[in-house]
Amino acid sequence: MNKFPYQFATFQKEHISQVAGILANQSTEMRKRFPLLPSRIQDKETARIFVQALYEKSGGKGCVMLQQDEIVGFVLGYYDNNYFFGSHVWVPFGGMALPREQPYAAWRALYAAAGDIWIKDGILNHYLVCPAIEEWLQACYSLSFGQEQLYAVASTKEICAEPPLPAGISMREVQPGDASQLFSKAHWIASHLNKAPVWEPVPTEHLEAIRPGYAELADDDTSTTWVALDGDEIVSYVAIYTVDIGAIHYLGSEKAAHFAAAATHPAYRQRGIGRALFTHILNVAHEQGYEQIFTDWRTTNLEAASYWPTFGYEAFSYRMLRRVNPIYKPFPSPD
């Protein structure tokens, strides 16, 4: 008896509406596990807009899973290329759904079908933002995916008690005159991630690309940046902004903040400066009307893995990576 009665088809435009319903239903169940995620992901129209945008960006590079001609799951990703990931496929959060029954076996089979499309297009680096659901993650590990990044969310609905700064240290909101210091200190995070056991490369092109962005934080009305100072010298900084909003951003919400930059000079760590500064920015986010704040960190970053959960951050997904051996070539079809 066939205990896994699924078929697979390349994702087509006509699948969007049905897939959106499946995704919205899955997201409703997912919010029971991760209640801090924005409630908007439960809405079918929100899901439809997202899936359509993802389909248009990806050109249908994915599969639907069918049972008796009804779609019960899907995976859809788009191709991209950058310094760190090379040529790759990216499946964002919301870019996959699995049936409730046998999710482990279902994902293994669905990935085989979608992955074959990607491989035939010469895409050997497969990135997936997988919800932090044990069976889903175990299925990824069984398929030789590795865990790279953790995505987490914390509540900003309550004011936090702020610890005092050490003597001689002050903090304030960033000022336009801080641009040159932020430019020169933009490498702090990259240099930390360059060390064991993350071992992240730091291409010159990457540093050249990020330094102007850090300098712009000094006079940017789309973000909020606070700094800690020893005299006039910036020794720590943290920046937040509204999460990316738009059709392709499934978690995008005006009530959600994101922080992507927080660093303290190595000589000033272990003194409570970063904790005081970040606790303050959480309260600023609350005052600005945000309900939750997102972030992410490398799972190989030992300090981040133990530090950020102390602020109430809870994991809701992981970035998974499968690299197919670059010398792989399929056998030709038999005569």
Please check whether the domain covering 158-290 is classified as CATH 3.40.630.30.
Answer: yes
The residues of the chain scoring below 70 in pLDDT are 1-4, 335
- Give, for 287, the enclosing helix (H) or strand (E): helix 273-287
Residue 155 forms beta bridges with which residues? 292
List CB contacts of 204: < 8 A, sequence separation 6 or more.
Answer: none
Q: Where are the extended beta strands (E) located within 146-232?
A: 146-155, 169-173, 223-230
pTM: 0.95
The arrangement of strands across the sheet holding 314-323 comes to 78-82, 86-91, 125-131, 314-323, 146-155, 292-298, 256-264, 233-242, 223-230, 169-173
HEC per residue, 100-117: CCCHHHHHHHHHHHHHHH
Per-residue pLDDT at 3: 59
Secondary structure (H, E, C), 37-88: CCHHHHCHHHHHHHHHHHHHHHCCCEEEEEECCEEEEEEECEEEEECCCEEE
As assigned by CATH, the class of the 7-149 domain is alpha beta
Res 330: pLDDT: 86
Digit-coded pLDDT (tens) for 41-81: 999 999 999 999 999 999 999 999 999 889 999 999 999 99
Query: What per-residue confidence (pLDDT) applies to 4?
Result: 63
Domain boundaries, the chain: 7-149, 158-290
Q: CA–CA separation, 248 vs 4, rounded Å?
A: 32
DSSP SS3 for 334: coil
